[in-house]
Amino acid sequence: MKKNILLSVFSGLLLWIAWPPTSYTTFLLFVGFVPMLMAMENIIASSIRHTGKKIFWTTFIGFFIWNTLCIYWVYNSLKEAGSIVAIPISLIPYSLGPLLMSSACWLYYRLRLITNRGYSLIGLMIFWIGYEYLHQNWDLNFPWMTLGNGFAVSHKWVQWYEYTGVYGGTIWVLALNILLFLLYVGLKENAAKKRRLRLIITAVITLVLPLGFSLVTYYGYREIPNPSNIVVAQPNIDPYQKSGGIPVPVQLAALTHLSDSLAQPNTEFFIWPETAIPDYKNEEDIRGDMAFMEVKNFLSKYKNGNVLTGAETYKVYNSRLTPTSNPYDDKGRQFYDRFNAAVNIENSPEVQFYHKSRLVPGAEELPFGEALSFLKPVFEHLGGATGSYGSQEKPGVFYSQSGIGVDPVICYESIWGDWVAKSVKTGAQFIAIITNDGWWENTSGKDQHLDYAKLRAIETRRWVCRSANTGISAFINQRGDVVKHTEWWVRTAIKQDINLNSDITFYVQYGDYIPKTASLLALAGILWIVFRLKFGKKKLTVAA
């Protein structure tokens, strides 16, 4: 038993070493699961009782180590959660990952009871992708550890994400690990040389073909010239001082000064970070707001200029129109929603709003809000500490007066490839990520967040302009290269002529077709397992 635990721990360490932002070790993803598969095989082959339970908890140890070492920085952000009630809710999504991973392994074992090893390993891939898609889309979402994200540092290897999205990377990792595991089993069981040779050839092809295709695509890719001048500001304001600690006029002065320092007469977008305008603004009255007028005054020098900025806004209703709305007055005659918003301001009365829609569970939304609606009075009593942000159903696109479409992506949303793709499909010609990574302090969290943005550039073949208040701001081209970036915790600005793109990639057109298909197959597999175990033979043995 100790041997199997050590194998699981070894897998966890290998996967951690391979994970961004570590460089030059990405290849370890292709072998990281092999010790874990060996441990499961040892348990299945043994005569111990409660085999399924042993597999679940043995694999959990390795997955817990991998996840904890990669996302330890999450715990630095708990102060943002806002209350003693919100903090444990915020912890749940990050803690569930290893449990869901182990559940996929448990399902693999149950499948082994009714079919052979080969089909069961295919089932493991399907169950794993199903877990990843679930953890991306339910109310306790946290898709940070989706396997395909592991290639964010080695983005030259996965230029084919424009066809598959990150789930193509998940398949690549699992397929190579399974082939190497089968080769190990073949050696251990003294399988025929022809079988082992076939496995070696298949593994080499599985590695070389996607890698070769990607490198050819990367070095052969040429952007179509369609320049637009963009300025990104990084004001570097302590996130815990933004609301109340530093006056809003002082913060705006820093942003306009940084923008002015690099602006050109033809600059078309000034991109400011998440919650750059920190005080809550009524969206209906924003044109008369002092901060808005300051931005308009700044833009008067730039005829075609737009300020795309993060802001905290709210809307007032005469009735409770949304599940997230709160009472606006003591009499309960009006209600309001508050938003983590992106706002586009231009040299006209037009103001465009986008409301962050992929919210952080606990800190920004109450998971399963309708089912847990009985807790609403508790959070209202706490001042809306959690579950109080509104959102919108569809992604948004901002359009400048000259017709340029930009996808506003707010912080956490940048790890949803499908959500970004939907906005690009609607008409976005480049992506603007606005974020505030200072909650995580100087940890690998900010670096991983930047690296993941490179995958959005590849999937959509769009430039990414990233404005991070206290993180790392950057320009990323259509191949996923970071062509310019700032340093951590530095007040500065950067500018770049980017190329706008209106072409639609296969992934943008069809979205997450891989995990949707896998999820249906996973559901079918679970139903088959239940049926066979309930109505099949009473005594089942594991097939080789």
* Tens of pLDDT, residues 218-238: 999 999 999 999 999 999 998
For 374, other C-beta atoms within 10 Å of its C-beta total: 7
Q: Which pLDDT does position 86 carry in this prediction? A: 55
Residue 363, in any domain of the structure: no
Task: Report yes or no on 319 lying in a domain.
Answer: yes
Residues 6 and 27 reside in one and the same domain: yes
Q: 314: which 2 tokens?
A: 């709210």
Q: Give SS3 for 13.
A: helix
Over residues 322-348, the mean pLDDT reads 87
> Are residues 85 and 149 both part of a single domain?
yes
Q: Say what the pLDDT of residue 386 is.
A: 47
Task: Residue 359: name the closest of 411, 431, 286 by CA.
Answer: 411
Residue 73 pLDDT more than 60?
yes
In this predicted structure, the answer to whether residue 539 has a pLDDT above a threshold of 60 is no
Summarised one tens digit per residue, pLDDT across range 234-265 is: 999 988 887 778 899 999 999 999 999 999 99
Query: Is pLDDT of 540 > 70?
Result: no
Is residue 386 a part of any domain in this protein? no
What is the rounded average pLDDT of the residues 507-535?
A: 94
Query: Is residue 490 included in any domain, yes or no?
Result: yes
Confidence check: pLDDT of 310 > 50: yes
| Alpha carbon distances (Å) from 378 to 314, 326, 330 | 21, 12, 16
Q: Is the peptide bond before 21 cis (omega within 30 degrees of 0)?
A: yes
Range of the domain at 9: 2-220+512-535
Q: What is the pLDDT of residues 291-300, one digit of tens each?
A: 999 999 999 9
φ/ψ of residue 504, rounded to 5: -110, 125
From 427, 371, 433, select the one nearest 396 (Cα to Cα).
Answer: 427
Which whole-number Å values give the CA distances from 363 to 255, 291, 313, 389, in the listed order? Answer: 26, 26, 17, 9
- Which of 22-36, 103-117, 167-181, 385-399 is predicted with the least confidence, judged by mean pLDDT? 385-399
Residues 307 and 339 reside in one and the same domain: yes
| Dmax (CA) of the chain | 81
pLDDT band for position 382 (cuts 50, 70, 90): very low
Contact assessment for residue 427 and residue 397, using Cβ atoms and an 8 Å cutoff: yes
Confidence of residue 94 (pLDDT cuts 50, 70, 90): confident
Residue 266 sits in the same domain as residue 204: no
**Same domain, yes or no: 144 and 10:** yes
Is position 215 within any domain?
A: yes
3-state SS, residue 361: strand
Q: Please report which confidence band the pLDDT of residue 192 belongs to, taking 50, 70 and 90 as the band edges.
A: confident
Question: Do 202 and 245 have their domain in common?
Answer: no
Confidence tier at 385 by pLDDT (50, 70, 90): very low
- Confirm whether 542 is domain-assigned: no
pLDDT at 273: 97
Q: How many domains does the chain have?
A: 2
Per-residue pLDDT band at 32 (split at 50, 70, 90)? very high
Is 90 exceeded by the pLDDT of residue 439? no
Q: Are 65 and 40 in contact (CB under 8 A)?
A: no
Half-sphere exposure of 312 (CA within 13 A, CB side): 11
**Residue-level pLDDT at 383:** 42
pLDDT for residue 374: 53
> What CATH number should be reported for the domain holding residue 417?
3.60.110.10
Report whether pLDDT(494) > 70: yes
Q: Is residue 373 in some structural domain?
A: no
Contact 511, 395 (CB under 8 A): no
Give the H/E segment covering residue 251.
helix 248-262
C-alpha distances in angstroms, 52 versus 120, 181, 307, 398? 14, 20, 56, 51
Pick the range with the lowest mean pLDDT from 64-68, 280-284, 359-363, 431-435: 359-363
Judge if 169 and 263 occupy the same domain: no
Percent of the chain with pLDDT over 90: 75
- Are both 247 and 332 inside the same structural domain? yes
Is the per-residue pLDDT at 387 higher than 60?
A: no
Q: Which residues contact 111 (CB under 8 A, 6 or more apart)?
A: 119, 120, 123, 124, 525, 529
pLDDT at 372: 57
**pLDDT at res. 381:** 46
Nearest to 156 by CA among 464, 481, 381, 450: 481
Q: How confident is the model at residue 441 (pLDDT cuts 50, 70, 90)?
A: confident
Mean pLDDT of the 99-125 span = 95
Query: Does residue 259 belong to any structural domain of this protein?
Result: yes
How high is the pLDDT of residue 370?
63
By mean pLDDT, which of 135-149, 364-378, 444-458 is the weakest? 364-378
Q: Which of 272, 236, 242 is nearest to 256 (CA)?
A: 272
Q: How confident is the model at residue 477 (pLDDT cuts 50, 70, 90)?
A: very high
Alpha-carbon dihedral sign for residues 447, 452, 455, 456: negative
Enumerate residues 6+ apart whose C-beta is below 8 A from 250.
none
* Mean pLDDT (the chain, rounded): 91
**Do 344 and 476 reside in the same domain of the chain?**
yes
C-alpha to C-alpha distance for 295 and 290, rounded to whole angstroms: 9
Q: What is the mean pLDDT of residues 425-447?
A: 93
Q: Percentage of the chain surpassing pLDDT 70?
A: 92
* Helices assigned H by DSSP within 324-431: 376-381, 417-426
191, pLDDT greater than 90: no
pLDDT at 88 (0 to 100): 62
Whether residues 331 and 436 fall in one domain: yes
Pairing of strands 398-399, 492-499: unpaired
pLDDT of residue 240: 81
Give DSSP secondary structure letters for 88-135: HHHHHHHHHHHHHHHHHHHHHHHHHTTS-HHHHHHHHHHHHHHHHHHH
Q: What single DSSP character describes residue 389?
A: B
Q: Which three-class secondary structure state does DSSP give residue 441?
A: coil
Same domain, 451 and 479: yes
Confidence band for 501, pLDDT divided at 50, 70 and 90: very high
Whether residue 272 sits in one domain with residue 173? no
Q: Is the pLDDT of residue 167 over 60?
A: yes
